[in-house]
Structure 1
Amino acid sequence: MNNDTARPGAVGSALAAALLLAGLNAPLTAAARPPADVDGRRIQQADREPGNWMSHGRTYDEQRYSPLTQIHDRNVQRLGLAWTTKLDIDRGVEATPIVVDGVMYTTGAKSIVYALDARTGRKLWTYDPEVAIDTLSTGCCDIVNRGVAVWKGRVYVGAFDGRLIALDARTGKPVWQVDTVIDRSKSYTITGAPRIVKGKVLIGNGGAEFGVRGYVTAYDADTGRQAWRFFTVPGKADAPPENAAMAMALKTWHGDAWPKWGGGGTVWDSMAYDPELDQLYIGVGNGSPWNYQFRSQGKGDNLFLSSIVALKPDTGEYLWHYQTTPGDRWDYTATQHMILADIDWQGSRRPVLMQAPKNGFFYVLDRRNGQLLAADKFVPVNWASHVDLATGRPVLTGDAEYTQGPKLVIPSFLGAHSWQPMSFNPKTGYVYLPAQETVAGLEGQKEPLFLPSKSVVNLGIEVPDVPEDPKVVAQIRQAWKGRLIAWDPAKKAPAWTVDYASAGNGGTLSTAGNLVFQGTADGRAVAYAADTGTKLWEAPVNSGAMAGPVTYTVGGEQYVTFMVGWGGALPLVGGPMSLSAKVRPEARVVTFKLGGQGKLPPPANAVTALPPLQTVTASPESLKQARTLYNGMCASCHGPNAVSGGVVPDLRYLTPAKHAQFAGIVAGARMVKGMPSFAAVLQPDDVEAIRQYLIQRSHDLAAELKTNPVAATAPAPLGGAR
């Protein structure tokens, strides 16, 4: 069943209000409740109504485990398409849907919010925050959004341009909005999903690669008034620190350069909450710039970069922290998904926090105080030999110290585990981790080169070099792969694994039906046996499925939903390393149920012919310099060496008309479509040099196609320009 119509939605009835006014304590039925009638008590008691998915990880502990059993390991092969709904913008889709009383609330690219009938996929309402055009190019990793939060009849979304917006859950109309950005001259964004704890909406920001100072903010859910703000890195070295936590952090930073570079430490994704301990946990991101020498003279731990930090949710007061990567210089964020669980640990029951951040180690902490219990490699790692359990610190090898010369770093800056959420099954005791193996060549800049542009990253490193030879690229690509790991935290080892040819596979969902669901980068929805890893079912979904799936019930039937749409960091930055460049970014919601008879439309994988080739007039030396210029300015979106990962246009396919418009496009003529202006950082001669390099790369592709026609099975979006 396809659903592309929309109408204003109305959910709930006068009965709910009457029952509330009468003070009756009997639980309301779904039909009797107002829409999105969720509060802290209801989330804490989520297992009493397992048919809903009321918060980002279903429960405050973020386990992403469902007690539902109607779909189980013996009948999962009967899953068929129940419905699919197309989203407005075909870019990366990373949202976890919220499902409350038969209504699904979710987001697509550009922070557009959708309310859908969870039984049929019919659109009830759509809200477009109309993200400011000049901000569309100021994020590192696509114009994505990871979803909404709901609370007492409202839906909360963080817009890409940094606004936090409260919507009426019945109509989708804005109730209030606030600007979360402390400095509009900086490239602050929001891609993460809000969390709501004790009536406070919690949201962090992105932007570390562009040079911002990180923080997390709490806003009153009713009014939008700021309740508190916790900065994750110090401000100016000569300014009084805001609080005791910042005074402590300031002692771990050196020199006075980091305020210019921003410092980093953005809280762009993961949070969790323990109601019994009344502790809020946030994951903190990487440093800005990456280069530790420029940021802090190569000294100090640089708190609270790459850390898990516990706060009091009422006040934002610091409680404790654990730093996974002291003095981070590899973009090893600790913003990856955190799970709270009580597990058997060395003969006793232990309340733990578990995280598998980018750096390749799986951490188990006592969540009461941050004590490190375990830290073990779950993929190949070369930057550290191990983590010393006595000190809690990694033991560095020196093999990844790129400021001493070019180094091959494992994992790469894309990480051993990215934002895709993992799940925990209390029946098996396993964490289902969407891991990946990636490598990158890094080299520190000899002198700091800071470019004052909101659309240019300032990392303090030379542009990672990817060879142009397609045969060499294919060899390197073999080192990039995905893996689903059932990690046993008690045994500190995998119970089972599933290998994938590509990195960038989706988040996981585990259920009491002995199932693990995951989407894949190559466009499939898959179910595995939670205990053994045996593949039990799969179905096509037309595009890369990166988000964490959810399950729920409506009318007594259990459904499983995958948010689908290829995009994000891997195809943008990875370009030729992305095996799924042949998968188009087709954005849709795809939902399955037992006995479903729906049909997906054919995937949009049409082949684009190479336009007529232009003449190369630049010298070989000029083309070499232009390659460096292109990779420094353009590769973070259009792919290294002009090989797109399939999300934004592949510039080797520029038409003659686009070549004629090229200088104007680079100067900002297509900002309305997200192409930033580089007029402030590129001279006309530089622009023409880049255009000549693109012409040369078109000729290279034409030569490759003569011997390998499959090389262009599905190039990036048509036309070669945004």
Structure 2
Amino acid sequence: MKPLLLAAALALAGTASPGAFAADDAARATPADAARPAAAPAADARRASAFKPGNVTAARLAAADADGADWLAHGRTYGEQRYSPLRAINAGNVARLGVAWTQKIDWDQGVEATPIVVDGVMVTTGPYSIVYAFDAATGRPLWKYDPEVPRDKGGEGCCGVVNRGVAVWEGKVYVGAYDGRLVALDARDGRLLWQVDTRLDPNRSYTITGAPRVVKGKVLIGNGGAEFGVRGYVTAYDAATGRQAWRFFTVPGDPDLPPEDKAMEIARKTWSGRGWLRWGGGGTVWDSMAYDPKLDLLYIGVGNGSPFNYDFRSDGKGDNLFLSSIVALRPDTGEYVWHYQTTPADMYDYTATQSIVLADLDIDGRRRQVLMQAPKNGFFYVLDRATGELLSAEPFVPVNWASRIDKATGRPVLTGKANYLDGEGAKLVMPSFLGGHNWQPMSFHPGTGLVYLPAQETMAGLEAQKEPLFLPTKKVVNIGLDVPDLPEDPKVVQQIAGAWKGRLLAWDPVKQKAAWTVEYPTAWNGGTLATAGNLVFQGTADGRAVAYAADTGRKLWEAPVNSGAMAGPVTYSVKGVQYVSFMVGWGGSFPNITGPLSLAAKVKPEARVVTFRLDGKAALPAPKHAPAEQPEPPALGASAEELTVGRRMFNGLCANCHGINAVSGGVVPDLRYLTPAKHEAFNGIVAGARMQRGMPSFAEVLKPEDMRLIHEYLVKRAHDLKDGR
């Protein structure tokens, strides 16, 4: 069973720290900064003459390709290509990159943000949705805002207290707080201006991990929580006031009530029974969006069903719109225009929330306005973005659930090999619920015509549960399937881990095949950035920043960054000097849940910003890789039968953070290393004694005897480790 955790209370206000904040080991700009050109380029001069903090407008975004000095939006432009026209750093000189500055941020957990850079100011986020503003040239802290998300709130989401960044618009900074609030800050000093609660139902486990987007004066934000029994939607708020402008639901509501709009009337015909009401239905819009100003269409990516088990959710009938779909809307009103469903009747967690990239391509002798996506299900899709017509779809990783996508119908041709609901027991599914591509953003280079895709080969054994399961807090549910036990034998686990592979694909979307490939030792590598300097930048799971030639894939440069770098890097220019910046910090679902498999990365979750420039001379502090000494574990006092029960409870409730079979991926404590004092205090910790340090309370779920059995399993695993098992 995919692990679950529980919920905590909502914080309604936050704190800002105007001015500087503590910078424990910040590496400052070196005397080499004095060598920067004295005369700023024309674009820099124009900005200096009319400086206004956070001055991002529709006109500036429309002209972003003519002036690439800034990174104004999540994907740099509305089309989310993550391509920069800057070329001062190029294939010929990239080997000279050195650290310009680095800043440590507060929480050493998963870091997934794309920084926004406007007129020399970088604004980014870290765990618990904390917002940081830096001088983009020197790293000098300007301000920090902590929305004070309850520190045990991580129990209410699937994949860590992560955040993928802010939006900046007309003097304001917008961030989605993990507990479901949308917060607007003053770009000058981080002062709170307004905040709204985006949750449809505060008794359900809604979260926010995605970055807001701003289109036509409206802030757009979706939510997470599809694994925890919520109904999905995306909401638009007035950027000035926070007043709700519209809300588009992605799954239908109560069938006894009239549908909210035409889209819900269409969707309702594709659902069966009433199970989704209890389970929420899912379909959360937790990440990708893009906008085409000429067509005036907003594109959203929609997530998985709740629960995964299609029989529980919809009596095993219907396509279940708009799960696992790309949907086009009118940004003024939220009106439905068209949709394309990548995985009808989703039962694998095959979200379509991965990067949506807009481009114009020559296909079959015709210039086409296209939308591209490589969702979890392993197929790369090219659609006509005006109509939603499928132009092509081909697998980019090994896939066994479908043989192909039928061009005439746009539907997958199912193999039956992965249907764990057919009554024949567990099935091996490729890709796994982690996907052939997850949230790590891909980029597109209009010069090479290639998409740079952080792909991965993953697999999982899935088996249907016999009956639904609800937990008493916040109506949290499980996902309706069992994941067969991962063996405890470390040698067997390493063999399994060897089958999980990561790679960088330079994908030709016209030919629908790879132009070149770079293999990595593990999955869960970072997002990509393409530049006019014939470069592709990417962070890796094993703690490196790397640059490749965009046309050939030849590695041109790499540097250590202390920790796994998952986020998409950015590039920008200040006073004529180009910088490349990586948000660094290991975490998220892969290292948290699949600890035994993610250990191939061998990194710690050290959270920081690392920024490079040509001939940078700043020092990156040494990584914190000191090996831990295992304390002597207490005597084991449980029977084999009791240990089996303890293992099941641990993997069902605790592995979401602490790793399957109690093997941590290194982001949160490895419980095989508990000290005697923590063994003694175990029940109190599980009951909530460390809530403010991020450990949720399980007092409403676990009885003292349950806690004892989980503890005994951890004692057993500590002895296994001590004995080399």
TM-score (norm 1): 0.93
Shift of 1:299: 0.8
Shift of 1:653: 0.8
Say if 2:263 and 2:336, in contact at 8 Å, map to a contact too: yes
Say if 2:128 and 2:151, in contact at 8 Å, map to a contact too: no
Unpaired runs of 5+ residues, structure 2, are 1-21, 27-42
* Aligned equivalent of 1:683, options 703, 706, 709: 703
Distance 1:489 1:42 in 2: 29
Report Cα offsets for 1:20-78 as digits up to 9, x if no partner. Answer: xxxxx999323531111111111111112211000000000000000001011011101
Taking the TM superposition and a 5 Å limit, the aligned residue runs for 1:212-251 are 212-251=230-269
Taking the TM superposition and a 5 Å limit, the aligned residue runs for 1:165-184 are 165-184=183-202
Which amino acid in 2 is paired with 1:159? A
Task: Tell me what 1:141 maps to.
Answer: 159
The answer as to 2:323 corresponding to 1:305 is yes
Task: Tell me what 2:523 maps to.
Answer: 503
Shift of 1:254: 0.6
Distance 2:45 2:511 in 1: 42
The answer as to 2:479 corresponding to 1:467 is no
Shift of 1:612: 1.4
* Aligned equivalent of 1:261, options 243, 265, 279: 279
Taking the TM superposition and a 5 Å limit, the aligned residue runs for 1:262-281 are 262-281=280-299
Which amino acid in 1 is paired with 2:162? V
- How many percent identity over aligned positions? 71
Taking the TM superposition and a 5 Å limit, the aligned residue runs for 1:90-239 are 90-239=108-257
- 3-state SS, counterpart of residue 516 of structure 1: strand
Distance 1:588 1:455 in 2: 35
Task: Tell me what 1:710 maps to.
Answer: none
* Aligned equivalent of 2:694, options 656, 674, 686: 674
Which amino acid in 2 is paired with 1:75? N
* Aligned equivalent of 1:616, options 630, 636, 644: 636
Distance 2:481 2:49 in 1: 57
Report Cα offsets for 1:399-449 as digits up to 9, x if no partner. Answer: 111123101110000000000000000000000000001111111101222
Which amino acid in 1 is paired with 2:75? G
Report Cα offsets for 1:140-194 as digits up to 9, x if no partner. Answer: 1110100000011111100001110110000110111111011111110000000
Shift of 1:262: 1.0
Which amino acid in 2 is paired with 1:663? N
Which amino acid in 2 is paired with 1:415? G
Distance 1:530 1:384 in 2: 31
Taking the TM superposition and a 5 Å limit, the aligned residue runs for 1:535-684 are 535-580=555-600, 582-684=602-704
* Aligned equivalent of 1:494, options 495, 510, 514: 514
Say if 1:138 and 1:455, in contact at 8 Å, map to a contact too: no
- 3-state SS, counterpart of residue 156 of structure 2: coil
* Aligned equivalent of 2:93, options 70, 75, 88: 75
Say if 1:62 and 1:339, in contact at 8 Å, map to a contact too: yes
Task: Tell me what 1:713 maps to.
Answer: none
Say if 1:3 and 1:123, in contact at 8 Å, map to a contact too: yes
Say if 2:359 and 2:371, in contact at 8 Å, map to a contact too: yes
Further displaced range: 269-278 or 626-635: 626-635
Further displaced range: 384-393 or 625-634: 625-634
TM-score (norm 2): 0.93
Task: Tell me what 1:695 maps to.
Answer: 715
Which amino acid in 1 is paired with 2:175? V
- 3-state SS, counterpart of residue 631 of structure 1: helix
Q: Which runs of 4+ in 1 moved over 4 A?
A: 2-6
- 3-state SS, counterpart of residue 65 of structure 2: helix
The answer as to 2:40 corresponding to 1:40 is no
Which amino acid in 1 is paired with 2:222? G
- 3-state SS, counterpart of residue 692 of structure 1: helix
Distance 1:259 1:309 in 2: 22
Which amino acid in 1 is paired with 2:607? A
Further displaced range: 30-39 or 82-91: 30-39
* Aligned equivalent of 2:463, options 422, 428, 443: 443
The answer as to 2:351 corresponding to 1:326 is no
The answer as to 2:454 corresponding to 1:420 is no
Further displaced range: 374-383 or 677-686: 677-686
Which amino acid in 1 is paired with 2:433? F
Task: Tell me what 1:709 maps to.
Answer: none
Shift of 1:528: 0.2
Distance 2:506 2:366 in 1: 22
* Aligned equivalent of 1:283, options 301, 326, 330: 301
Task: Tell me what 1:715 maps to.
Answer: none
Which amino acid in 2 is paired with 1:310? A
- Residues matched between the structures, number: 686
RMSD: 1.5
Distance 1:78 1:71 in 2: 9
Distance 1:337 1:634 in 2: 30
- 3-state SS, counterpart of residue 481 of structure 2: coil
- 3-state SS, counterpart of residue 391 of structure 2: strand
